[in-house]
Copies of this chain bind each other. A is one copy, B any other.
Amino acid sequence: MKAILIICDGMADRPVKSLGDRTPLEAAKKPNMDRIADEGICGMMYTIGPGIPPGSDTAHLALLGYDPYQVYTGRGPFEAAGAGLELKPGDVAFRANYASVDDNLVVTDRRAGRIQSPPELEEAIRKIKLPVKFQFKNTLGHRTVLVLQGKGLSAAVGDTDPHEVGKKVLEAKALDNTAAARRTAQILNLFTKKVYQALRNHPLNQQRKKENLPPANMVLVRGAGVVPHLEPFEKRTGIKAACVAAAALVKGVCRLAGLEVAEVEGATGNTQTNLKGKIDATLKALERNDLVLLHIKAFDELSHDGKVKEKVEFIQTVDSYLGRLWGKADFLLLTADHTTPAEFKEHTGDPVPIALAGPGVRRDEVKSFGERSCARGGLGHIRGRELVPILANLMGRTKKFGA
């Protein structure tokens, strides 16, 4: 038995006045989503818990069955894993970005003029010598990730990023009294020094000076997180799974959980993403896997930007692609990772609708996929961590507890 788990990032919403007090889902024409609701069993899901606004990382940990309160150590490790770095439990990962500093190490631009992933600078930084092994990688735009590797490291270190223009690059400080924290802070400060040495007169920055562009002569790090040990999803559940996603954080969670992560050309996470390519990748991944998690991101971006009308349109666009999934897996499960009300523009803790169609399902009377229709469904209100056990049970993949 195979299943596709469709996660529409931030698609759930609240009633919007300009939509006649309907939510974007309730206002959209979305025959394929409604078909899953109609032929399946529906319900509502608190991804983390009632009233808790989930992040994309904690939400996906919960959706894969992990307890985010146990395993979540911050965004860094998941972003690093999402960027394709090979991580081991105990490594310490940081979010980082290129920045511009003056001769006194005062930050003049926190994004180095939004420089676009300069491979020369990435290479220069990788050549730095530190007392530990490390990985450094450009991700999107001015963003990068840094991972310190090996034993005797700690995530209890402060940022070097002052989070403000006009302030000096911070000296990283140990946040507890352990030798590991002090050592990690020292290594970070050495990193700051050596990055500046390596980039200050780098030919690319000389070129940028000529072009009157701010130099990318510093890397600011923040958000230390130790790479958690996640018991592999397949070992926990017996289900071989893959992930099709554009968002680095989601890819990172899936990669650390041991899922196969597909790379899809043109999958950007915005409304221009290659939806056809993602559907193709889903169907291809399904050949080798029991479960494919298909993550679609742009609902969330539109909600953060307050674009109600565009959100309705994007729901309709995505819906038109979902028809291709029908009949390709035994089970289709449609949900969101969290609510992002387009008028509130932030993640909220409202529950999200869920619909699950496939053999053996106790089909209920819900006929459309929405925040209010699904609240009358047969599944009742579940938690994110209960999603995989409920699906695995229907797939015949759970083991009896007891005799």
On A, residues with C-beta under 8 Å from B are 14-15, 21, 23, 44, 48-59, 68, 72, 75, 78-79, 249, 341, 343-344, 346-350, 360-364, 371-372, 375-382, 386, 388-394, 396, 398-403
Contact = CB atoms under 8 A, between A and B. Distances in A.
A57 B402 contact: yes
Residue of A48, A53, A392 with highest tally of chain B CB at under 10 A = A53
Contacts of A72: 401-402
A139 to B, nearest CB: 14
A24 to B, nearest CB: 13
A389 B363 CA distance: 30
Contacts of A399: 53
A347 B57 CA distance: 34
Contacts of A15: 360-363
A59 to B, nearest CB: 7
Contacts of A52: 389, 393, 398, 401
A79 B394 CA distance: 29
Contact of A51 (B53, B79, B386): B386
A126 to B, nearest CB: 25
Nearest to A95: B403
28 contacts: A14-B362, A15-B363, A21-B363, A44-B378, A49-B389, A50-B389, A51-B389, A51-B390, A51-B393, A52-B389, A52-B393, A53-B401, A55-B402, A56-B402, A56-B403, A57-B403, A68-B401, A78-B403, A249-B403, A346-B400, A347-B400, A364-B372, A364-B375, A372-B378, A375-B377, A375-B378, A376-B378, A379-B381
Contacts of A21: 363
> What 8 A-B pairs are tightest by C-beta distance, nearest first?
A55-B402, A51-B389, A58-B402, A349-B393, A75-B403, A380-B381, A51-B393, A50-B386
B350 A362 contact: yes
A225 to B, nearest CB: 10
Residue of A249, A343, A364, A403 with highest tally of chain B CB at under 10 A = A403
Nearest to A374: B378
Contact of A348 (B388, B393, B403): B393
Chain A, interface SS category: loop
Contact of A53 (B79, B249, B347, B393): B393
Contact of A401 (B58, B391, B401, B402): B58
Given A51-B398, A52-B389, A363-B372, 4 more contacts: A21-B363, A53-B400, A55-B401, A59-B402
Contacts of A376: 376, 378
Contacts of A346: 400
Contacts of A371: 362
Residue of A68, A400, A402 with highest tally of chain B CB at under 10 A = A402
Contacts of A23: 362
Given A372-B378, A375-B378, A393-B53, A402 B68 contact: yes
Contacts of A361: 14-15
Contact of A375 (B56, B68, B380, B391): B380
A25 to B, nearest CB: 11
A73 B346 CA distance: 39
Nearest to A50: B386
A331 to B, nearest CB: 13
A78 B403 CA distance: 10
Contacts of A393: 50-53, 348-350
Nearest to A373: B378
A381 B50 CA distance: 11
A398 B343 CA distance: 16
A398 B348 CA distance: 8
